[in-house]
Amino acid sequence: MFTGLAVTLLLMTIRMVSPQITGMVVDDVIMGGELDLLPKLLILMAALTVGSGASIYLRGLIFEKVSMEMVYNIRTRLFEHLHELPFRFYDNHRIGEIMSRMTGDIEAIRNFISSGIVTIIEQSLYYIGAMIMICTISPLLAVILLLITPVLAVVCYKYNRAIRPRFDRIRDQGAVLNARAQENISGIRVVKAYAREDYEKERFARENNKHRDFGIDISNTVAKFHPIIEFIASIIPAVMLLVGGLLAVQGIITPGEVVKVFGYLWMISDPMRMVANILNMISQTASSGERLFYYTDIGSEIKEDPNPQYPKEFTGHVRFDHVNFSYGDEPVLTDINIDVPAGHTLAIMGATGSGKTSVVNLLGRFYECQSGVVSIDGIDVKKYPMKALRRNLGYVMQETFLFSDTLRDNIAFGRPDASQEAIEQAADIAQATEYISGMDLGYDTIVGERGMGLSGGQKQRAAIARAIVLDPKILILDDATSAVDLETESAIQQGLKKVLKGRTTFIISHRISAVKDADEIIVLDAGRIAERGTHETLMKEKGLYYGIFMDQYRDYQSVLGAKEVG
Ligand SMILES: Nc1ncnc2c1ncn2[C@@H]1O[C@H](COP(=O)(O)OP(=O)(O)OP(=O)(O)O)[C@@H](O)[C@H]1O
Ligand SMILES: [Mg+2]
């Protein structure tokens, strides 16, 4: 950047010298008759022209490079920062909006760095330099020029006040538009299935209209101020010609000096003309910068403990002590107490929305409980080094997400160095081998975005394999087999039983068949533990669990004609 500025200074100096030469041509050669001076002056002029061309080339190169580097850094930092932000951030921000920041706003900043900064520095230096040069020729002319400046300043101030909020508005609207498009394209299958294309088109058109209107509004504002600024800039030569001509006639300055003044005039009027553009650029960059910094400043409310603790041996003994939790104001979990010794299996049942997923979210510190303690091996999860904690957890999330990558890389996501055997073994336990080997490319099959191209059950099985490969101390299966048939589910359970010996397991499921073998089963009701026990004790209690059981096996019973089940 400093090299670039040095080159800019060089260019400026060259441009400052040039009018001096034209002035000399008029005064010394034409008026003074020193003809032998002419070739020397012409050669100097040519040299200066080459010099200015070279500086312009160099300057462009340097500032483009600087802007690319800066944008690279900003983008990298932002991307890294997005990975530090908690789940809650993503609950509240739309992906399209984030994408718009990552692209449009960063591009605005790049523009400013690559051309804005140079323009501002260059134009102000021209203005000051030219003023000084004119002052040495005729202080009167310089004073007249200076008198115009406050008028221009007032106009600019008003212009800036008008344009800035408009740029803020169009930037925000751009993000809204982006978010709309992104969400709509992600959900295109639903839109088509419900034949809601027209509705969606109209919704998009509404936001698009707003964006266009805001754009037109900006153009109108620019257009209103432009003639005023242009007028001020173009009366300058007329005034100079008048006053300069009078001074020359009276012999106060020479005709050559009038020519010199005119050689500097563009250095005064150009910055004036550009002032509107410069203000636009500053406003736009400020709008974009503000929004980017909003993201980088937002921080994570889930912070790494400055003095992290880690147990001597991570065995996976999980405890919840009087845990209360809410996402907002409404309590989601109330007074949860659980104790899962290392290697035990806890099953969580309960109606949808009763808080099952929320319980396991606290385990990996994706959210933090408001009171009570979630601990593993006697250490509060808030005290663990975050990554070390999460490496011990194998999550199979309720919503399966696969990356648009090969099945192999998807399964080995948590352990990229996993051997092919380990991957195959995991796939085997997850009952995924059969469908994977049935594919032409096998493990090299690239699955579409979010696993498109696989069936729901196939995706789930790949996700289970992904958790198993990790070889975690604690395995969390959040409705992990909801999309596979009962037979496959039972095969997966048999397989898991073998490998998961000595591993703490959380099973969330709506199916009795998936939870009945757990060491303890808890039934959540509106965020409270309503029942707890083993399959046998809960069946005897004849409470919620028994009710679920009866619902699921009533048909079965009637088919079999059995008198007693359980
Ligand atoms: N990210 C979130 N922000 C705000 N509220 C949430 C969020 N996630 C869940 N909730 C609310 O918390 C409550 C419990 O949700 P949770 O996902 O834990 O239920 P669940 O028992 O897992 O249900 P399901 O069986 O349908 O998966 C629900 O009322 C839900 O609306
Ligand atoms: Mg859930």
CATH number at residue 465: 3.40.50.300
Distance (Å, whole) CA 280 – CA 285: 8
Check if the beta carbon of residue 98 is closer than 8 Å to that of residue 228. Answer: no
Which of 92, 358, 366, 479 to mutate for ligand 1's pocket (most ligand atoms within 8 Å of CB)? 358
pLDDT in tens, 121-147: 888 888 898 899 899 988 988 998 888
Does ligand 1 lie within 6 Å of residue 355's CB atom?
Answer: yes
Q: Residues 92-109: pLDDT tens digits?
A: 888 888 888 888 888 888
354 in ligand 1 pocket by Cβ < 6 Å?
A: yes
DSSP code string of 238-275? HHHHHHHHHHHHTTSS-HHHHHHHHHHHHHHHHHHHHH
Taking Cα atoms as reference points, which of 234, 181, 186 lies closest to residue 207?
181
Domain extent, residue 420, equals 398-471
Q: Do 403 and 291 belong together in one domain? A: no
Domain's final residue, options 254, 282, 298: 298
Strand 528-533 vs strand 474-478: parallel, antiparallel, or unpaired? Answer: unpaired
Measured between alpha carbons, how far is 269 from 261 in angstroms, rounded to an integer?
Answer: 12
> If you average pLDDT over residues 376-380, what whole number do you get?
93
- What pLDDT score does 441 carry? 86
Rounded distance, CA 457 to CA 480, Å?
Answer: 9
Q: Measured between alpha carbons, how far is 119 from 112 in angstroms, rounded to an integer?
A: 9
Q: Are 283 and 409 in a shared domain?
A: no
380-389 average pLDDT score: 92
In percent, how much of the chain has pLDDT > 90?
36
Distance of CA 307 to the CA centre of its chain: 30
| Residue 192, Cβ density class (10 Å: 0-12 exposed, 13-18 middle, ≥19 buried) | exposed
Number of domains the chain is built from: 2
50 closest CA partner among 11, 8, 16: 11
Helix 255-298 and helix 139-186, axial crossing angle in degrees, nearest 10: 30
Q: Is residue 546 part of a domain?
A: no
Rounded to whole angstroms, the Cα distance separating 261 from 305 reads: 67
- Ligand 2 centroid–CA 528 distance in Å is 15
**Angle (deg, nearest 10), helices 2-24 and 255-298:** 170
- Which pLDDT score, from 0 to 100, does residue 357 have? 93
Instruction: Determine the pLDDT at residue 565.
Output: 47
Q: Of residues 452 and 172, which shows the higher confidence score?
A: 172
What is the arithmetic mean of pLDDT over 52-62? 92
**What whole-number distance in Å separates Cα of residue 424 and Cα of residue 411?**
9
> Is residue 147 in a domain?
yes
User: Sorting pLDDT into bands at 50, 70 and 90, what band is 53?
Assistant: very high
More confident residue, 336 or 565: 336
Question: Quick one: which of 414, 400, 484 has its CA closest to 449?
Answer: 400
Asked if residue 257 belongs to a domain, the reply is: yes
Q: What is the pLDDT of residue 522?
A: 93
Strands 345-350 and 520-525: parallel
Q: How far apart are the first and last CA of the chain?
A: 78
256-291 confidence digits (pLDDT tens):
888 888 888 888 888 887 887 788 888 888 888 888
Q: How far is the CA of 356 from the centre of ligand 1 (A)?
A: 8
Residue with tokens 């992104």: 182
- The one-character DSSP state at 394 is E
- Per the CB < 8 A criterion, the answer to whether 67 and 118 are in contact is no
Work out the pLDDT band at 419, boundaries 50, 70, 90.
Answer: very high
In terms of DSSP H, where are the helices of 377-511? 386-391, 407-411, 420-429, 433-437, 456-469, 486-499
Q: What is the dihedral of CA 61, 64, 69, 73, to 10 degrees?
A: 170
149-153 average pLDDT score? 80
Q: Which residue lies with its CA nearest to atom 18 of ligand 1?
A: 355
Q: Which residues pair with 478 in a beta bridge?
A: 508
Sign for the pseudo-dihedral over CA of 179, 182, 184, 187: negative
Count CB neighbours of 151 within 10 A. 11
Q: Is 274 in the same domain as 402?
A: no
Protein residue with its CA nearest to atom 12 in ligand 1 = 332
Segment 282-309, tens digit of pLDDT: 888 888 888 888 888 887 788 888 999 9
Domain annotation covers residue 377: no
The domain that contains 62 carries what CATH number? 1.20.1560.10
Residue that finishes a domain, picked among 471, 499, 533: 471
Compute the distance between CA of residue 16 and CA of residue 155 in angstroms, rounded to an integer.
Answer: 28
Is the CA virtual torsion 108, 109, 111, 116 positive or negative? positive
Asked if 286 and 408 sit in the same domain, the reply is no
Looking at the predicted structure, is the pLDDT value of residue 448 above 80? Answer: no
The confidence score (pLDDT) of residue 374 equals: 94
pLDDT of residue 484: 81
Q: Which of 332, 398, 506, 508 to mutate to test the pocket of ligand 1 (most atoms within 8 A of CB)?
A: 332
| Alpha carbon distance 330, 513 (integer Å) | 32
Structure token digits, residue 487: 């037979």
How distant, in Å, are the alpha carbons of 24, 32, 70, 119, 247 from that of 19? Answer: 9, 18, 37, 21, 19
Residue 560 lies in a domain: no
Size of the chain in residues: 566
pTM: 0.78
Is the pLDDT at 30 greater than 70? The verdict is yes
Rounded to the nearest angstrom, the distance between the alpha carbon of 105 and the centre of ligand 1 is: 34
Residue range 73-96: mean pLDDT, rounded: 89
In terms of pLDDT, which residue wins out, 394 or 280? 394
Residue 59 lies in a domain: yes
**Does 405 lie in the same domain as 282?**
no
The residue among 501 and 180 whose pLDDT is bigger is 180
The backbone region for 81, taken as left when phi is positive above 0, alpha when psi lies in -120 to 50, beta otherwise, is alpha
The pLDDT of residue 211 is 95
Q: Is residue 340 part of a domain?
A: no
Higher pLDDT: 448 or 378? It is 378
What is the model's pLDDT at position 562? 52
Residues 403 and 285 in one domain: no
SS (H, E, C) 35-82: CCHHHHHHHHHHHHHHHHHHHHHHHHHHHHHHHHHHHHHHHHHHHHHH
What residue's CA is closest to ligand 1, atom 29? Answer: 353
Report the distance separating Cα 341 and Cα 61, nearest Å: 64
Q: Are 37 and 265 in contact (CB under 8 A)?
A: no
- Please tell me the predicted confidence (pLDDT) of residue 566: 45
Mean pLDDT (the chain) is 88
- In terms of domains, do 45 and 184 share one? yes
Do residues 266 and 406 share a domain?
Answer: no
Does 92 contact ligand 1 (Cβ within 6 A)? no
- Residue 352's CB is within 10 A of a number of other CB atoms, namely 8
406 shares a domain with 268: no
Question: Does residue 423 have a pLDDT over 60?
Answer: yes
Residue 561 is predicted with a pLDDT of 61
Sheet containing 318-326: order of strands: 331-340, 318-326, 371-376, 379-380
The pLDDT of 302-323, averaged and rounded, is 91
Q: Is residue 371 part of a domain?
A: no
Of 298, 319, 345, the position where a domain reaches its end is: 298
| 357 ligand 1 Cβ < 6 A | yes
